[in-house]
């Protein structure tokens, strides 16, 4: 009989395995599994990417015949439907497992509580809820994607101590230190798409690529909001599409010849409703979801960040605060517009976490 302490240890191991694939499984969740018999681990695995075997299948394959009479620790409920892979619960029922400890139910309506119900109906002892709060954090993008049917949105901005994103001239290289910029590469790697506004493209001519050797197999989407389709055909974004597909969102009325030229360069042009020169971001997110994009990292500039905040479509934020003062009334900040009339009406972040990278202070919070 396993003790609560042992259950916690094995489930923590399962979560450690699940985290190995963070940023690689979309639009699927990150899941880890451990098979234990007589107090010893006989199988383990994690879901590596969409289309590949799920965590419990990998773990059971490794365990082989030793799975009979064993306990399976699984971070997320086993699936019961045919997707890119067969239903996992059928395989679980064939292995002779004695007990299954499931950390969290799958929020997908096709699966929710159905996988656990199948196991119980087959006479397998099932326990749920252990360390389920870890799943809420690990799979926050998947949960938002499944339940709200739009991607999880993370805002990112580098700021001076006085809250400026750039000098009055528009120069912003570099506010944060090299180590912070390396951290941003990891943020990019964990998301499915990187999004900026057209002003960032015109000023900085970025590539928006992920420059990490260990993530060379994943393809990202690079998204630009460009209401009036001012995107330059010679931009670096279009010079090498191996860095990821380029999607440009434009308003309803744009020059057809300009759109055709960008399409010839390999860009996808999607027209969306616009109001007062600003695109309807919910429509943008819905279009991205149709392309199985579950998470978006928004890197600015100021108008884009402000739009996501004003339209209440941002879920999370990372502020990289550098120990420098920029000043200037015309220097941009991450949240502009009319602002709150009183402090009581201001927007306050929740679930705050902060840490340092060299001399930079990073604040992570949720809206």
Rounded Cα distance, 118 and 113, in Å: 9
Spell out a b/e string for 123-152, using b for 16 or more CB atoms within 10 Å of the CB, else e: ebebeeebbeebbeebbbbbbbbbeeebbb
DSSP track, 48-86: -STTSPPHHHHHHHHHGGGGTT-EEEEEEPPP-S-SSS-
> What does the block give as tokens for 37?
């018999």
DSSP track, 173-229: TTSS-HHHHHHHHHHHHHSSEEEEEHHHHHHH--------GGGTT---EEEEE-TT-
Q: What is the CA radius of gyration of the chain?
A: 23
Is 127 a residue of the active site?
no
Rounded Cα distance, 267 and 285, in Å: 18
- Contact call for residues 349 and 365 (beta carbons, < 8 A): yes
**72 forms bridges with which residues in the sheet?**
35, 100
> What does the block give as tokens for 8?
């916690």
Catalytic option among 9, 12, 19, 56: 56
Q: Give CA angle at 203 (251, 197), nearest 5°.
A: 30
CA separation, residue 175 to residues 162, 172, 229, 289, 326 (Å): 12, 6, 29, 32, 10
Residue from 304, 42, 40 nearest 157 by CA: 304
> Given the structure tokens 């309807």, which residue do they identify?
280
- Contact call for residues 212 and 247 (beta carbons, < 8 A): no
Active-site residues: which are they?
56
């Amino acid at each position: 009989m396993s003790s609560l302490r042992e259950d916690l240890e094995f489930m923590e191991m399962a979560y450690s395995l699940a985290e190995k694939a963070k940023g690689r499984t979309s639009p699927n969740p990150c899941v880890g599994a451990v098979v234990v018999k007589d107090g010893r681990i006989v199988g383990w695995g994690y879901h590596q990417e969409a289309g590949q075997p799920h965590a419990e299948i990998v773990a059971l394959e490794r365990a082989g015949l030793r799975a009979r009479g064993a306990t399976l620790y699984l971070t997320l409920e086993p699936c019961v439907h045919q997707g890119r892979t067969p239903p996992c619960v059928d395989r679980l029922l064939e292995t002779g497992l004695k007990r299954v400890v499931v950390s969290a139910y799958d929020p997908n309506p096709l699966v929710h509580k159905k996988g656990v119900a199948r196991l119980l109906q087959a006479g397998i002892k099932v326990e749920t809820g252990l360390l389920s709060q870890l799943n809420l954090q690990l799979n926050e993008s998947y949960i938002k994607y499944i339940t709200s049917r739009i991607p999880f949105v993370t805002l990112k901005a580098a700021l001076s101590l006085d809250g400026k994103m750039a000098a009055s001239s528009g120069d912003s290289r570099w506010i944060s230190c090299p180590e912070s910029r390396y951290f941003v590469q990891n943020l990019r790697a964990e998301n499915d798409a990187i999004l900026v506004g057209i002003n960032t493209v015109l000023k900085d001519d970025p590539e928006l690529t992920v420059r990490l050797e260990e993530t060379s197999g994943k393809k990202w989407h690079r998204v630009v909001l460009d209401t009036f389709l001012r995107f330059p055909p010679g931009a670096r974004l279009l010079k090498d599409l191996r860095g990821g597909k380029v999607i440009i969102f434009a308003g309803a009325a744009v020059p057809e010849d300009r759109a055709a030229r960008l399409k010839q360069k390999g860009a996808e042009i999607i027209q969306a409703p616009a109001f007062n020169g600003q695109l309807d971001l919910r429509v943008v997110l819905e279009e991205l979801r149709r392309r199985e994009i579950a998470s978006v990292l928004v890197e600015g500039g100021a108008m884009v960040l402000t739009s996501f905040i004003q339209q209440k479509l941002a879920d999370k934020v990372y502020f990289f605060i550098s120990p420098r003062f920029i000043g200037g009334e015309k220097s941009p900040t991450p949240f502009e517009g009319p602002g709150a009339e009183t402090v009581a009406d201001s927007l306050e972040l929740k679930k705050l976490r902060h840490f340092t990278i060299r001399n930079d202070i990073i604040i992570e919070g949720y809206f």
